[in-house]
Each structure stands twice: as structure tokens, then as C-alpha cells.
């Protein structure tokens, strides 16, 4: 490996602290006081349609560049935000990108799939096999030559440190924060926030992307060296929002999306942030979050997925909002 590449710094996809917006009308609508509810806008990160994965990809793309890889390879659901941002990040740094997406290729390219193609990604559909097993086979046979594998959701111990840094950023912006509410997908975002803010501050809303969000976050914290400080039983995890499964829109999610849009002009997605905000609404209703508690909702992005979800794109009989 050439010496210059070995010392290549991580790329920069996040130019500075993302903004924090007050949401007083939304706070009042869910039973909080003015000033209690703030939205941390990681959805407004500029790369490739925005979202939390951009912070993690600064680390994983840096590793790919230093390894000398020509391709990056990752997996995801058909409307994976991680896959979309991996494709965008690869384009930004001059690497080629292969995405293995679960299931069969859709008849029409919508949402994130449309953007994956626009960013120049090579798409492979796993069919009846798992996306991970297909990616393993492609890597083993050398289909894409020199490859750097990026984990599902971009989450491992190294990339989760991006949200330790984000936690420090948030603490500087909102010193008196009492609760931070975030979706749990592959777990790295919550793990980093817990490492930076403490388990008592972070409420993770499990979206069903992994079999057990609590165990996934706990394993990442252990790999990061924070396991003893934040064991699994200390984590605040809401598993009531999964419903029929990750890919299915729940009534609570639909209501949360409508409420945020109507009260604040704030757009949430049907897989992650809609579920997470539904969890926040329920936490207020149960008394876990109370008026006077300074609460930050971490908006992790995902808007393109709204346009690819069958409940909103006209590809099934589900009623629209």
C-alpha cells in the first residue's frame, strides 16, 4: 500500500454542527411545554439526501480509502437509507459501490432505489437468500476485485464513535438536555449517544431492523469499551413501535408523521423517524417524559424512503395519509 494512502484522513461529509430547532407547536400537541422539545437536524446533512449515516460513513469510507480498495460493498433493505448514503459517499470520494439489497428487484425504481442508481451504484438483489449471504458469496469469489466491506447499517464499534462526537456536539448545544429520543436501526447511533451522554438520557425506539435492538446496542457498547458502564439492562429501549415488522407502517407511525407535518412542517419517514416520534409521544403519555423535561428528538433522516414505501407510493392497496 502506498504511504500516502496509508495516512489518508477520514473524508468530511458533515461540515459542522447540525442545527437544533425548537418545536413549540408540536410540544404543545403532545403534552409538553414551550421550549421542552427540540429537533436535532441530522436529516439536513448535505450529502446524498441527508441522514445520520453520513457521520458514520466518514469513518468507514476513510477505512476503505486507506485499505486501497476500489469498491465498497454493503447490504440493506430495498429502501435502505444506509445503502443510499453509502452510494453517495463512494461517489464523493471516487470509489465504486456495490449494494446487495434484500428481495427481488421492484418493477419501478422509487425512493432510495432511484437515488442508488443515480449515484452510480451497482445493485444486486438477493432474491430468496439473505442479503448478507449473497454479499459474502460475492466477496469470496472476488466479483468486485478489491473490496472494503461496510457493515449493515454502517454500524460497528469504530463508526459508532461518530455519535460519541455527535453527543458532545449536542451537549454543547443543549446543556440541560434530559432526554434524547432516537430510532434504533442497526444500533450504532444509539450506542454512540449512550457512550457520550449516558444510558439514562437516551431513549431508543426499536424499529425492528435487527432481531433485538437492546442486545445489538449493548454489544456495540461492549465492543467500544463502554459495556460495563452501560450494560444491556440499563438501556432505555421501547420495543412497542415495531408492529407487524420493520417494513410495515403502523398506525402510531402514521399518526406521528401526520402530527409532525401538520404542526411543524416537519417530515418524518415511515420506517425510522416516524416510529421514533411515535415512541416519544407514547413516552409523554406514560409519564416517562414530562412537561419541563428538555427533550431532543434526533432526526436521522430517511425522507427518500417515504417515496418508496408501498403505503405512500401507490404500489399496494394501503390507504395513504
Residue keyed to cell 438483489: 125
Confirm whether 80 is a catalytic residue. yes
User: pTM (2 decimals)?
Assistant: 0.94
In percent, how much of the chain has pLDDT > 90? 87
Q: What is the pLDDT of residue 313?
A: 64
Q: What is the pLDDT of residue 319?
A: 41
Choose the catalytic residue: 67, 80, 133, 318. Answer: 80
> Could you give the CA distance from residue 75 to residue 58 in angstroms, rounded to a whole number?
18
**pLDDT for the residue numbered 316:** 47
Mean pLDDT of the chain: 94
247-269, pLDDT tens digit by residue?
A: 899 999 999 999 999 999 999 99
Q: How far apart are the first and last CA of the chain?
A: 53
* Model pLDDT, residue 6: 64
CA distance readout (Å), 307 to 112, 121, 162, 268, 303 = 8, 19, 28, 12, 8
Task: Characterize the bridge pairing of strands 179-184 and 202-206.
Answer: parallel
Flag residues of the chain having pLDDT under 50. Answer: 1-3, 316-320
The grid coordinates of residue 188 equal 450504532
Amino acid at each position: 500500500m502506498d504511504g500516502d494512502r496509508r495516512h489518508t484522513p477520514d473524508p468530511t461529509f458533515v461540515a459542522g454542527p447540525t442545527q437544533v430547532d425548537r418545536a413549540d407547536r408540536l410540544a404543545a400537541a403532545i403534552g409538553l411545554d414551550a421550549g421542552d422539545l427540540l429537533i436535532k437536524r441530522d436529516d439536513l446533512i448535505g450529502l446524498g439526501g441527508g441522514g445520520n449515516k453520513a457521520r458514520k460513513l466518514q469513518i468507514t469510507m476513510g477505512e476503505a480509502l486507506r485499505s486501497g480498495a476500489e469498491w465498497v460493498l454493503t447490504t440493506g433493505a430495498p429502501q435502505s437509507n444506509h445503502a443510499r448514503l453509502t452510494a453517495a459517499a463512494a461517489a464523493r470520494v471516487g470509489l465504486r459501490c456495490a449494494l446487495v439489497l434484500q428481495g427481488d428487484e421492484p418493477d419501478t425504481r422509487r425512493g432510495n432505489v432511484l437515488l442508488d442508481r443515480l449515484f452510480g451504484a451497482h445493485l444486486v438483489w438477493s432474491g430468496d437468500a439473505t442479503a448478507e449471504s449473497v454479499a459474502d458469496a460475492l466477496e469470496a469469489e472476488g466479483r468486485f476485485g478489491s473490496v472494503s466491506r461496510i457493515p449493515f447499517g454502517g454500524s460497528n464499534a469504530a463508526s459508532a464513535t461518530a455519535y460519541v462526537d455527535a453527543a458532545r456536539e449536542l451537549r454543547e448545544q443543549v446543556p440541560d438536555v434530559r432526554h434524547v429520543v432516537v430510532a434504533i436501526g442497526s444500533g450504532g447511533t444509539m450506542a454512540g449517544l449512550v457512550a457520550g451522554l449516558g444510558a439514562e438520557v437516551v431513549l431508543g425506539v426499536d424499529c425492528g431492523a435487527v432481531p433485538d435492538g437492546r442486545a445489538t446496542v449493548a454489544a456495540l457498547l461492549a465492543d467500544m469499551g463502554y459495556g460495563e458502564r452501560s450494560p444491556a439492562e440499563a438501556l432505555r429501549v421501547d420495543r412497542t413501535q415495531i408492529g407487524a415488522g420493520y417494513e410495515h407502517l403502523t398506525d402510531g407511525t402514521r399518526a406521528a408523521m401526520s402530527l409532525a407535518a401538520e404542526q411543524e412542517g416537519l417530515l418524518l419517514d415511515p420506517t425510522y423517524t416516524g416510529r421514533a416520534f411515535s415512541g416519544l409521544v407514547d413516552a409523554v403519555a406514560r409519564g416517562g417524559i414530562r412537561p419541563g423535561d428538555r427533550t431532543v428528538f434526533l432526526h436521522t433522516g430517511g425522507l427518500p424512503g417515504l417515496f418508496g414505501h408501498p403505503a405512500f407510493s401507490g404500489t399496494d392497496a394501503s390507504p395513504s395519509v
